[in-house]
Amino acid sequence: MKRKADKQQNSAFPTAPRSAVSAVAARRARQQQQLQQSDSSHDTAPSENQESEPPTKKARSCPERHLQDVPSNHTSLEGSRLAAPVKAISEDLAFELSNADAAEDDLSGSDEIIIDDHVGEEEGTDLRDNANQGTPSRISTISENFTLSKNRVRKSDIVYSDEHMLCVRLKEKMTLVLIGIYDIWVKRGVISLMGAKLHPSTKTYRVYAPSTHSLPVIKCVSGVEGFAEIELQSCSSNLYGLKALSPHYSRIWNSSKTVGDSTTLNGSFKRSFSILYTSSDDPLNRPLRPLHLEKKWSTTIKSVSRRAHSLRALICGPKGAGKSTFGRYLLNHLLTPAPDGNSDNLNGVAFLDLDPGQPEFAPMGNIYLAHLREPCFGPPFSHPNLESSRYGKIVRCHHIGATSPKEDPDNYALAIMNLFDQYRMLSAMYPRCPLIINFPGWIFGLGLEVATWIIRSTALSDVVYMSEKGPAEVIEPLGHAASEASVTLTTLPSQPVDLVTRSSAQLRSMQMQSYFHMTQPEGLSDPLWTDSPLIHNKAISVSYSGPRPGISGIMVLGNRYSPQVLRDIIDGSVVAVVAVENVSAIPGYSETEAKRDGDSHTEEEPTDAIDEDLIDDNGGSNVDDSVIPQSNQQLKSLLNNSITRCPNSGLPYLFWGAGSSTPLDPKASRSLGLAFVRSIDVSSQKLELISPIPSSSIREAINQGHSLVLVRGMIDSPDWAFSEEYYAARNAEQDFIMTQLSYTKRNKEEGHGKDDDETQKGQNEELRRLQQCVRAASRLPYLKVIDDASALHQNEGKPENGTWRLRKKVYISSDSELD
C-alpha cells in the first residue's frame, strides 16, 4: 500500500482542500434542516423507525410503580451543588467542530476554551455522537420505564445487612441490578456477571457500574438448595473524586437511597451502590438500561469458548454494533473457567485491541497486545492502564496518533503485523493462550482489505461479524476470505444502545482523564485516582539539548510543519513517549543496513540495573554511554543527524518523508505511554512532562540503550486538563456553601442561636477566599467563562481583524443534582 500523501498526489479525482468554516456552516445548515423536518413530522404523522437494527430489549411498564418525578428534597451521595453564586450550567461538553477541524484548530496554537455558565433550561439534557460531530440532542426526562431486576429482594432473602455491605440469597434465574461501585464476593452457588461465571471462592471482584453504560446484571445460574449467596461490599474508590474536575463524571454513580435499598437497610445510607428494580427507581431519573445479551450472542459465546486454547477469534462489524461489549463478555467467559477440573486450564487470554478510537485497556490513539489473567467488570475509563494491574499486562503497544486508522493505513498495517509477531512469541511461552482480536468499525475500503488480510494470513478459528443486515459489499469479501482460510464466519445481530448520556468524544475524554489521574500503588489490587488538577502534579523536567539529553527528538504525525511553530504545537498537548529500539526504526534505513552496521561494531552488554536516579539534576539521562551497545550509539548519532533545531526554542524536530511525516517502524519502536507537556522552558532547554508512565519502564528502556522520542499525533485536544483547575475551585466553593447551609439548617432545627461574630467572620473570609480562587481560575489565558451562551452565537462566524478565527465551543455544566 502506498503512503497517504502519495495516494493523494496520484488520485485521479483530486479533491479541493476542505474549508473548516464551510464545514461548520454546512453542518449547521443540515442540523437546522433536520430540526425543521422533525418538527413537521411531529405536526403531521408519526415518524418511521429509521434504525437498521432495533434494540433487543423493549421497554415495559412496571406494574408496581409508575414513573415519578425526581423528589425535590432527596439527599445525594455525590453531594447536591448549589446553583448560586455560580450558575448551574448544561450537563455535558459538546464540541461543535468535527475531529478534523478540532485537530487543525488545535495545531494552530490559538485555542481558547469557552466555558458557558448559562443556566440549563431543561433537565436531562444529554448528548449523542451525531455523525461524530458532537452535536447536542435532547433526551426527554420522561423516558420509558425499563425493568432492571426481574425479582425484588425480600427480607427473607437478606442474610445480613448494614450501611456498608449487604449479603443476600438469590434464587436460581433471579437477577439483580446495582448502580455504583462495589466489591462482590460469591459465598455459595454460581452467578453470572458480564459473561463471567463466578464460583465460590475467597476472591472478591470490583465492579464499576456507572450510568454512562448499560448496567451489569447479576444472575443466579445455580445454587445450593436453589440459592446462591453473595456479599456486596461498599468501596471508597476515589474515582468518585473526578467529578470535581469534570462534569462528565457527575451524575453517573448512585445518589440517594432507592426503593431497593429501603428494604435492605433501616439506618443511615452510606453505601457506594444502590439496588434498582426499574429505571424509574433512580432518584436522578436517568435513562438506565440493563446489560442483557441477545440470545444468539450467548449461544455464540458458549460455542466459540469450547475451542479453549485453540480459539483465534476476530470480532468486526460496523460502528456502534456492540463489538466491544461482545468482546468483553467473551473475555470474561474465558477467564472464569469452572473449578471442577473439566474445563481447559488456560494460560490467560491474549487480547489484541486494534481499535485506536475506543481501546479497552489503553487511552485513545493506541493499539496493543495485552495478556489478561482476570475478568474485568467496568467500562474502559475504570481500567485505562494495565501497568501493575491485577487484570494482566500490556505486552506491546503502538501509538497510532489518531482515533481512526484511516489517517495512516500503512503504519496501521505495519503495527498490526508487529503485534501478531509478538503474539506468536507469547503463544510460544503460553501455548494454552487463546486470542481475541477487537477490530475497529473501519470495515469499508482499506479497512475491509486489512480485515480480509488478517483472516487469510493469521490462522484464525472464528470470525464474528456484528450485523445480520450486511451490507453485501462487506459480507461477501469476508465470507470469501473465511472460506479460503477454512475459518468459521458467524454473523450476529447488532445490539446498539438506544439512549446515550455521553458522546464518543466525551467518553474518550473521560478515559484520557482517568488515565492521567490513575495510580497503582504497590501492594494494592485496585487502582487509585488523584482528585487534584493535573497541572498541580509534580512534573518531570527533561532536557531536550546538551551532551546527554533526556529525549532524542520530537515528531509530529501528519503534514509537515514549520519548525518555528513546533513549540506551539506541542505546548499543552498530549504526546506519546516512544522507545526507539534500534536503527531499523528510522524510515528509509533498511534492516540489511542495520544488520551490517551492527555487525561492524563490538557490542557491550547493558547493565542489569541503574543505581543512579533516572533523570539527573539537569534533566538529562543518567545512564553512562559506556553501557550502551555500539549499535544503539549509532542510533543516537543517526537521530541527531535527522534533527532540525527550531529557531528561538531549540526544540529537536524530527521529520522523515515528503508531504507527510513517516512514522517510526513499529518493528523497532514501541510506545511506553502518554505524557502531558505542561510547559517548555526555553532558557534552560527543558520540557516539563506529566505522565503516569512508571519510572521503571523508562529506566528499563534507557538501560537497554533505547532512545526516547516524543510523538505528537492527531488525537483530541486535552481540553479536560485545561478546565480542571476551574472546576476544582468552583466545586470547592459550592461544597463550602452547601456545608454552611446544612449547618445553619441543623442549628435552626435544634433551636440553637446564630454563630458568634468571630465564627461568622471566619466563614465569610473563607467564602471570599474560595470565590477569589474561582475568579483566578476563570481568568487563565486559555479559558473564558461567559454567563450567556447567546453571546457565542451572536459573534459566531464573524471575522476578526480580517481573518477567520475558529474556537472550539465547549459547553461545560455544573454538577448540580437538578431537581
- Kindly state whether residues 577 and 701 are assigned to the same domain: yes
Q: What is the DSSP letter of 48?
A: P
Q: How many CA atoms lie within 13 A of 22 on its CB side?
A: 4
Q: Does any domain span residue 173? A: yes
Domain boundary among 281, 309, 331: 281
What's the confidence (pLDDT) of residue 440? 93
- By the 8 A CB rule, do 319 and 404 touch? no
- Kindly state whether residues 405 and 306 are assigned to the same domain: yes
- Kindly state whether residues 425 and 574 are assigned to the same domain: no
Q: Does any domain span residue 181? A: yes
C-alpha cell at 191: 452467578
Interatomic CA distance for residues 531 and 519, integer angstroms: 11
Interatomic CA distance for residues 82 and 537, integer angstroms: 28
Distances (CA, A) of 236 to 182, 252, 255, 528, 584: 9, 16, 14, 10, 48
C-alpha cell at 459: 490462522
Interatomic CA distance for residues 498 and 139, integer angstroms: 11
- Kindly state whether residues 550 and 694 are assigned to the same domain: yes
Tens-place pLDDT, residues 232-256 = 999 988 899 999 999 999 999 998 8
Q: How confident is the model at residue 794 (pLDDT cuts 50, 70, 90)?
A: low
Residue 817 has pLDDT above 50, yes or no: no
Q: How confident is the model at residue 612 (pLDDT cuts 50, 70, 90)?
A: very low
Say which residues have a Cβ less than 8 Å from residue 375's Cβ, sequence separation at least 6: 194, 195, 196, 205, 331, 332, 335, 336, 391
- Kindly state whether residues 496 and 586 are assigned to the same domain: no
Q: How many CA atoms lie within 13 A of 499 on its CB side?
A: 25
In the block, residue with C-alpha cell 448499560: 214
Q: How confident is the model at residue 271 (pLDDT cuts 50, 70, 90)?
A: very high
Phi (first) and psi of residue 209, to 5 degrees: -125, 80
- By the 8 A CB rule, do 526 and 518 touch? no
What's the confidence (pLDDT) of residue 116? 56
- Kindly state whether residues 590 and 640 are assigned to the same domain: yes
Q: How confident is the model at residue 779 (pLDDT cuts 50, 70, 90)?
A: confident
- Kindly state whether residues 631 and 766 are assigned to the same domain: no
Residue 115 has pLDDT above 90, yes or no: no
* Beta strand spans in 631-731 (E): 643-645, 652-654, 669-681, 686-690, 707-712
Interatomic CA distance for residues 540 and 617, integer angstroms: 11
Residue 311 has pLDDT above 90, yes or no: yes
Please name the helix (run of DSSP H) or strand (run of DSSP E) that holds residue 267, with its range, or none.
none
* DSSP line for 367-393: EEEEEE-S--BS-GGGSS--TT-SSEE
Q: How many CA atoms lie within 13 A of 175 on its CB side?
A: 16
Nearest C-alpha neighbor of 720 from the set 810, 781, 817: 810
What's the confidence (pLDDT) of residue 263? 87
- Kindly state whether residues 443 and 424 are assigned to the same domain: yes
- Kindly state whether residues 687 and 729 are assigned to the same domain: no
Tens-place pLDDT, residues 23-38 = 445 555 555 555 555 4
Total of domains in the chain: 4
Lowest mean pLDDT among 5-19, 208-222, 394-408: 5-19
Order of all β-strands in the sheet with 783-786: 783-786, 113-116, 809-810
Interatomic CA distance for residues 420 and 422, integer angstroms: 5
C-alpha cell at 342: 473439566
Domain boundary among 227, 254, 281: 281
Using DSSP, state whether 751 is helix, strand or coil: coil
- Kindly state whether residues 578 and 440 are assigned to the same domain: no
Q: Are strands 136-138 and 158-161 parallel, antiparallel or unpaired?
A: unpaired
- Kindly state whether residues 658 and 805 are assigned to the same domain: no
Interatomic CA distance for residues 324 and 326, integer angstroms: 5
What's the confidence (pLDDT) of residue 805? 39
> Exposed e or buried b for every residue in 630-647, given b needs 16+ CB within 10 A?
ebbbbbbebbeebbeebe
Nearest C-alpha neighbor of 328 from the set 382, 398, 286: 382
CATH number of 257's domain: 2.60.120.1030
Residue 187 has pLDDT above 80, yes or no: yes
End-to-end CA distance of the chain: 57
Domain boundary among 712, 727, 751: 712
Q: Does any domain span residue 44? A: no
- By the 8 A CB rule, do 163 and 271 touch? yes
Q: Does any domain span residue 584? A: yes
Interatomic CA distance for residues 305 and 288, integer angstroms: 30
Q: Does any domain span residue 46? A: no
Average pLDDT over every residue of 297-305: 93
| Residue 353 domain boundaries | 298-510
Q: Does any domain span residue 254? A: yes
β partners of residue 197: 192
CATH number of 394's domain: 3.40.50.300
- By the 8 A CB rule, do 449 and 475 touch? no
Tens-place pLDDT, residues 536-558 = 888 999 999 888 889 999 999 98
Average pLDDT over every residue of 655-682: 91
Mean pLDDT score of the chain, rounded to an integer?
78
β partners of residue 144: none
Q: How many CA atoms lie within 13 A of 247 on its CB side?
A: 29
Tens-place pLDDT, residues 151-182 = 899 999 999 999 999 999 999 989 999 999 99
- Kindly state whether residues 180 and 247 are assigned to the same domain: yes
Q: Does any domain span residue 316? A: yes
Q: Does any domain span residue 694? A: yes
What's the confidence (pLDDT) of residue 772? 92
Percentage with pLDDT > 90 across the chain: 49
C-alpha cell at 501: 448520556
Percentage with pLDDT > 70 across the chain: 72
Tens-place pLDDT, residues 509-542 = 999 999 999 998 887 889 999 999 998 888 999 9
Interatomic CA distance for residues 358 and 354, integer angstroms: 9
Higher confidence at residue 757 or residue 224? 224
